[in-house]
Chains A and B, each alone.
Chain A
Amino acid sequence: MRPFILQGHSRPLNQVKYNREGDLLVTCGKDKTVNLWWTEDGQRAGTFNGHTGAVWTSDISYDSTRLITGGADSAVILWDMNTGEEQHHFRFQEPCRAVKFSVGEAFAAVSSDPFMQAVSAVRILPIAADPAEQGEEAVQTLRGPRGRIARVEWTDQNRTLITASEDGFVRRWDVETGKELAAEHVHEKNIQDLQMSVDGTHFITASVDCSSKLVDTQTLAVLKTYQSNVPVNSAALSPVYDHVILGGGQDASQVTTTSSRAGRFESRFFHKVFQEEFGNVRGHFGPINAVSFSPDGTGFASGGEEGYVRLHKFDADYFTTKFF
């Protein structure tokens, strides 16, 4: 089916995220805005205005009532998803690149870029159920080496955090003690994205070293590698099939010298186990910065450098064709 093309951003997309039920999609971009869309018809439900810099990341609460976003303006904002109003505005000294609610949303993990003298860090903020009682203080701060932390994920019953970093390392941290438990050099170049599987046993990474890897959450061992020939900016795991999507493309700085075809601005489908490509979806005319599977696995969304989000629903033959 033809995808819905969502035109709500005037600058490159940074992240696209479905809510748990898959009826809503949150997109954030460099144009300082966060947009909310109905996935059923591709209509815009609203825009969250409040950031004064690029919005790098967002996370949606389990029941889709609250949204947390972080941006280059060093702000982390907690929103009411129903009304679009700010519930709380955290101000930090450093740009924020990753946010993630813990399971149950008692806490949020917020990463900060290395800035001035500060090294990169992840702050654990307690999130009050009533916004009026929301405090500013972090209960724990995990300080790491210099190097931006692109993604952070809670795992092991909220006891540990997984971070993906600019230096190509995936690290595991103890939330209680703030100590680094393990670090694994997974990629040659910076990691741009990390997405968990539904059961949390493994996750997928995306790196500008032109590959994407499937990693065991407990051991951080690399299980599978998906090789592309252009930088991979985002990778997603299908919740229902053994399929993965890699989104990326020739670096934006070189795009002017190549046609959109040579840039390989495609969502490429790989088989999770066989590591073989079995299809691709074209349409973007800039590198793809973000991909995400809908939670029921019946579609996916991709956000491009050119500012468009393409919202796809799979045709029937995606489900009936035996690809392998």
Chain B
Amino acid sequence: GSHDLAETGHQRRQCAPGPHPAMSLALKPDEEKMFEGQPQGFPFGDFDLEDVMLPEGDDNFGFPSEEEEEEEEDAQTESGFANVLVVDGVPKVSQEKYQKLTSILTKILSGPGHIRENGLWHPVDEATGLSKGCVFVEYETPDQARAAQAALHGYALDKAHKFSATLYDEAERLAAVPDEYVAPEPRDAPPPENQWSWLSDRRGRDQFVARFGDETEIYWNDVAKQQPEDVYKRSTWTELFVLWTPRGSALATLHRQGVALWGGDSFGRLMRFSHQLVQRVAFSADERYAYTFSEVPPAGPRDPLRFLLIVWDVRSGRKLRVFEGPQAEFAVGAAARPDGGLAWDAFRWSGGAAPGAPSFLAHLKKGGVAVYESPDFGLVDRKSVKLDSVQSIEWSPAEPVLAAYQVEEGNMPARIMLMRFPKKEELRAKNLHSVAGVQLSWHPQGDFLAVAVEKWTKSHKSTNTHFELFSLRERDTPIDMLELPNKAEKIHELVWEPRGVRFAILHGDGSRLSVSIYSMRDGKLPGARGVAHLHTLVNKQASSLHWSPAGRFLVLAGTKQTQNGLMEFWDTEDMSLLSAGEHYMATEVQWDPTGRYLTTVVNAQNSTDNGYYIWSFAGQLLYKVERNRFYQFQWRPRPPTLLLAEKQKAILKNLKHYSKKYDEEDEAILMQADTEFLAAREKQMEEWREWQATKAEWAAEQAEAKKALLGDRLRDGDFTVQLAEVTVVLEVKEEAITMSRVVEIAIAFFFISHIPITIFVDSQAVFSGELYHAKIRETTEWYLRTYGDPLMTPPYKPWFLSLVYSEVFLQLPFFFVGAYAFLARRNWVRIPALMYASFVTATMLPIFFELWFHKAPGYKPAMVSAFYAPYLLFPLLIIARTAFSAYPFKQPALSDAWNNKQKWV
């Protein structure tokens, strides 16, 4: 085609627009709306069409593009001349015939489309008086112009005159082609930026992208500083959404004109795929290929809904294959939307290709599956796989193995089939009867495939569900069957543990669901295959399950409207609940690629509380970010690790060594952050005080004026509130401290004095006399002789002995503890001290009764009672000191600014 056009261009050199004298001539200052979107005051004084057509534009960021021509065309279309057609080969006529010819031309040219008012321009050469032999026609739409071009090119007006019609934009381009070929200067491409530099972050942090309002921002997740750290931000970066490539090397943005890829430290543009009104983009697992997808609006009311899908080579930006057509032709089985249209993800990339291995792209078709192979994306073996009434397909995430489900039809049973590409080798198939529906769930490493099979009961009124579990890493791909205890229960989700052999099922009816965890290892025979039930959690407010990408940790998320965003963090190793938290109205849950952190998001579905929380794997809330109109959060994926298995093992083994080092680093960073944070606050405070100082004089003037205006009505106290407040509080506090301190020391002294009395005096009632020094025995005897204490005089009463035993063996150890605790002001002593004191108070009751009613010669009741009195008074004092506050000694520390921030907000 281009050869043809070039010819026409050359023929009509004389008519070709350029710096166009005729055009400006024809325009009168008051009229001539030449094209849609014509700027005010157009044409400008001495305008150069070059400037209009080729706006300062997108260079290709150093990527020489195959489609430069095409893009140029696009650019010109935007100039507004797309609806103008240049028709050459018109007879050159004199003044007399001019009117006649013009009306004939109008008739012919308005055949294929509507000419705009004053849209036909038939220029005259002023020097010769003859018409120039060409016409410019402005149609109402570019489409009409294109249709006219097709219809009129080659139209024979008479024998001598044959029209050659060219779109104005095209003519312009052709006219600009120089007559001599000039070899383009070779351009030096700037060295591309390292797209993986973010992986070498010294602290091993992860990145994420957040989109809110018009902003798209990329951050480091800086947990040590408990806040995100900016990496890159840009306003109105995308028109639909953003998407990380599967290995995280680049970020894709979607625009009206197509998809752009951004990456490197500066987030410069790496590549773009031109696809008008693109709606979706999907990358192959190795990031080498991508497709862009859009629905094409129907041209007329009878026209079917069409789609356009373009497969690209990501590195070169080359178009590899185009799929287009009516959506209905491709909307087969699960690829059909309820409205009959095509689900955008009808085309599926195969998973995790090994380096150098081909990528596959599959889609359903009537009676089969079409699988295309890179790099040219032709059908594998040039034909599609024949599978009758195929309903859905899923690629293994790890290798080119396709699972397909064929629906039951007539006498043919339903069938689940696994096929390895490119050899089309059938790994395993399973036939099933009376199937109502099937859900395929692949293990993230492709080790297993779980198929939830919903079967009609005999009455055909309800369904039962069971699971067919395929083990792909074993010979002949064995299948295990699993039935839940209650087959009729609704199955909400089955999720495999990444890097593990377990899976979790969310099941149950109603709002409270159960979570069951199973293992693909036999419970009895170590290492053998089998399905073993591990645990069931019941009555959970959860609507989705989220395994950590590293396995082991499972989060139960209540992300439905009524579930308030409840999150439960479970360790499945010992089935312990690590923590439960809440992100009110959370709508999304995402693990970071390493399994260290979890994000919960409230997005713009909710009108308020938009933003995200970052949690540790154990459910500790690390920080919160609030952003209005929050649309999207996505962690930057990491490429598969390059470390060898042995190296990974070695790291695991020496984990203690590493963790110590990193803990120290984190500590240092936290300290630094704390200092910086406090310094920043100090600075703010300083600025505020400075500002206040500048206002002091004015404020004093105001105060003076107020005094003058109020006169004798003025009362004191307007400006001294703060000082008075502080003094009062401090005084009360100090007073309280001194009083209670005296009591504490007295109690401690009581405990200390009790120790020798118990050991040397009271214990004589229970141990034999020989144990004691003669001096001590003498003193005791003297005491008994002098005062006649009835209790300590043998023979001892049994109830009294029991009290002495408790004193020696139970209370004596506590005297040491109590003395220390009251001196050191320890809050933990409160409960033991209260127990001790109430016990002793109670024992004093029988003792005083005995002392009161005992009658004997030489017995002095008053003196003996006085000796015993302290053992009633001090316990009462202990009760008085400790009973009335949960923290009898001091409040828990609240001074640290950082902690307080966490506590209060």
Seen from chain A, the residues whose Cβ lies within 8 Å of a Cβ on chain B are 20, 62-63, 103-104, 106, 155-158, 198-202, 210, 216, 218, 223, 229-230, 239-240, 242, 250, 254, 258, 261-264, 272-274, 276-279, 295-298, 316-317, 319-324
Q: Is the CB of B691 within 8 A of A223?
A: yes
Shortest A103–chain B CB gap in Å is 5
B24 to chain A minimum Cβ distance, whole angstroms, is 45
Q: Which residue of B lies closest to A104 (CB)?
A: B709
Chain A positions within 8 Å of B703 at CB level? 199
Determine the chain B residues whose CB is within 8 A of the CB of A262 once the complex forms: 584-585, 606, 608-609
Q: Are B608 and A229 in contact (CB under 8 A)?
A: yes
Q: Is B692 an interface residue (CB 8 A)?
A: yes
Residue in B695, B706, B709 whose beta carbon sits within 8 Å of that of A201 in the complex: B695
- Nearest residue, chain B, Cβ from A22: B721
CB contact between A239 and one of B699, B721, B729, B904 (< 8 Å): that residue: B721
On chain A, the residues within 8 Å of B891 by CB distance are 317
Residues on A with beta carbons closer than 8 Å to the beta carbon of B628 = 210, 229
**When chains A and B are docked, how far (Å) is the Cα of A296 from the Cα of B904?**
23
In the assembled complex, the Cα of A210 lies from the Cα of B610 at a distance in Å of 14
**Which residue of A63, A201, A223 contacts B699 across the interface (Cβ within 8 Å)?**
A201
* Alpha-carbon distance A200/B684, docked complex (angstroms): 21
Between B606, B729, B901, the greatest number of chain A beta carbons within 10 A of the residue's beta carbon is seen for: B901
Residues of chain B touching chain A, judged by Cβ–Cβ distance below 8 Å, are 584-585, 606-610, 626, 628, 681, 684-685, 688, 691-692, 695, 698-699, 701-703, 705-706, 709-711, 713, 715, 718-719, 721-722, 725, 729, 733, 891, 894-895, 897, 900-901, 904-905
With A63-B713, A157-B705 as contacts: A324 and B900 at CB distance below 8 Å: yes
Closest to B626 in A: A229
Q: Are A254 and B607 in contact (CB under 8 A)?
A: yes
Known: A158-B705, A218-B695. 9 other contacts (CB 8 A): A157-B709, A199-B699, A202-B695, A229-B608, A239-B721, A240-B721, A276-B901, A279-B904, A317-B891
Q: Residues of A contacting B901 with CB < 8 Å?
A: 276, 278, 324
State in angstroms the CA–CA spacing of A276 and B684 once bound together.
Answer: 12
Selected contact of B702 from candidates A157, A202, A316, CB within 8 Å: A157
Quote the shortest CB–CB distance from B187 to chain A (angstroms).
48
Known: A201-B695, A264-B608. A157 touches B900 (CB 8 A): no
Contacts of B702 in A (CB 8 A): 155-157, 199-200
| A319–B610 alpha-carbon span in the complex (Å) | 33
Is the beta-carbon distance between B710 and A104 smaller than 8 angstroms?
A: yes
A317 to chain B, nearest CB (A): 8
Distance in Å: Cβ of A134 to nearest Cβ of chain B = 19
Are A322 and B705 within 8 A (Cβ)? no
In the complex, number of A-B residue pairs with CB atoms less than 8 Å apart:
109
* Min CB–CB distance A324 → chain B (angstroms): 6
Query: How far does the Cβ of A182 sit from chain B's closest Cβ, in whole Å?
Result: 16
A218-B609 contact given A103-B706, A198-B719, A279-B904, CB 8 Å threshold: no
One of A63, A274, A321 near B894 (C-beta < 8 A): A321
Q: Which residue of A lies closest to B680 (CB)?
A: A274
For this complex, 15 residue pairs linking A to B, each with C-beta atoms less than 8 Å apart, are A106-B709, A156-B702, A157-B701, A198-B718, A210-B628, A250-B608, A261-B584, A262-B584, A279-B905, A297-B722, A317-B891, A320-B729, A322-B895, A323-B900, A324-B900
B-side contacts of A258, CB under 8 Å: 608
Which residues on A sit within 8 Å (CB–CB) of B585?
A: 262
Please pick, from A218, A264, A278, the residue contacting B698 in the complex, using a CB distance under 8 A. Answer: A218
A294 CB to nearest B CB, Å: 10
Q: Please, which residues of chain B bring their CB within 8 A of the CB of A316? A: 729
The reply to whether B698 and A62 contact each other, CB–CB distance below 8 Å, is no
Looking across the interface, which residue of chain B has its beta carbon closest to that of A201? B695
Report the separation of the CA atoms of residues A218 and B701 in the bound assembly, to the nearest whole angstrom. Answer: 13
- Residue in A closest to B684 when the chains form the complex, CB atoms: A273
Q: How far is the CA of A4 from the CA of B681 in the complex (A)?
A: 35
Q: Which 6 A-B pairs have the closest CB atoms?
A: A104-B709, A157-B705, A201-B695, A199-B699, A240-B722, A273-B688
Residues of B close to A240: CB separation below 8 A: 721-722, 725
B709: chain A residues at CB < 8 Å are 103-104, 106, 157-158
Nearest-neighbour CB distance to chain A for B600, whole angstroms, equals: 16
Q: Are B900 and A200 in contact (CB under 8 A)?
A: no
| Residue among B608, B684, B900 facing the most chain A CB atoms (10 A cut-off) | B608
Cβ of B894: which chain A residues have Cβ within 8 Å of it? Answer: 317, 321-322
A297 and B607 contacting across the interface, CB-CB below 8 Å: no
User: Is the beta-carbon distance between B698 and A201 smaller than 8 angstroms?
Assistant: yes
User: Smallest distance from the beta carbon of B55 to chain A beta carbons, Å?
Assistant: 34
Which residues of B have CB within 8 Å of A324? 681, 897, 900-901
Residues of B close to A229: CB separation below 8 A: 608-610, 626, 628
Q: How far is the CA of A324 from the CA of B426 in the complex (A)?
A: 67
Chain A proximity of B677: nearest CB distance (Å)? 10
Give the shortest distance, in Å, between B714 (CB) and chain A (any CB).
8
Q: Is the CB of B692 within 8 A of A201?
A: yes
- In the bound complex, how far is the Cα of B608 from the Cα of A229, in angstroms? 7
Chain B nearest Cβ from A300, distance in angstroms: 14
Instruction: Return the chain B residue nearest A257 by Cβ.
Output: B607
Q: How far is the CB of A263 from chain B (nearest CB, A)?
A: 8
Cβ–Cβ < 8 Å partners of A202 in chain B: 695
Cβ–Cβ contact B897 & A322, under 8 A: yes
How many Å lie between the Cα of A201 and that of B684 in the bound state?
A: 18
Complex interface: chain B residues within 8 A of A20 (CB): 715, 718
Quick one: given A104-B710, A201-B692, A229-B626, are A323 and B904 in contact (CB under 8 Å)?
yes
CA distance A200 to B700 in the complex (A): 10
Residue in B closest to A106 when the chains form the complex, CB atoms: B709
Measured CB to CB, the nearest residue on chain A to B714 is A62
Q: How far is the CB of B811 from chain A (nearest CB, A)?
A: 36
| Distance of A293 from chain B, by nearest CB (Å) | 11
A276 vs B685: C-alpha distance when bound (angstroms): 13
A63 to chain B: closest CB distance in Å? 6
What's the minimum C-beta distance from B261 to chain A, rounded to whole angstroms?
34
Residue of A nearest to B692 (CB): A201
> In the complex, which residue of chain B has the Cβ closest to the Cβ of A228?
B626
Q: Are B900 and A321 in touch, CB under 8 angstroms?
A: yes
**Which residues of A have CB within 8 Å of B710?**
62, 103-104
Is there contact, CB below 8 Å, between A297 and B695? no
How distant is the Cα of A122 from the Cα of B904 in the complex, in angstroms?
A: 42
By the criterion CB–CB under 8 Å, are B900 and A277 in contact? Answer: no
Which residue of B has the minimal Cβ distance to A61?
A: B713
Quick one: closest B residue to A199, CB to CB?
B699
Q: How far is B251's CA from A12's CA once the two chains are assembled, in angstroms?
A: 51
Which residues on A sit within 8 Å (CB–CB) of B685? 273
B725 cross-chain contacts in A, Cβ below 8 A: 240, 296-298, 319
Q: Which residues on the B side are within 8 Å of A216 (C-beta)?
A: 695
Provide the bound-state CA to CA distance between A103 and B584, in Å: 48
How far, in angstroms, from A155 to B695 measured CA to CA in the complex? 14
Q: A273-B684, A278-B900 are in contact. Are A319 and B699 (CB under 8 A)?
A: no
Kindly list chain A residues whose C-beta atoms are within 8 Å of the C-beta of B711. Answer: 104
Q: Do B729 and A296 touch across chains, with their CB atoms under 8 A apart?
A: no
Q: Is there contact, CB below 8 Å, between A295 and B721?
A: yes
* Shortest CB distance B602–A (Å): 10
Least CB distance, B296 to chain A, in whole angstroms: 38
Q: Which residue of B lies closest to A157 (CB)?
A: B705
Distance to closest chain A CB from B698 (angstroms): 7
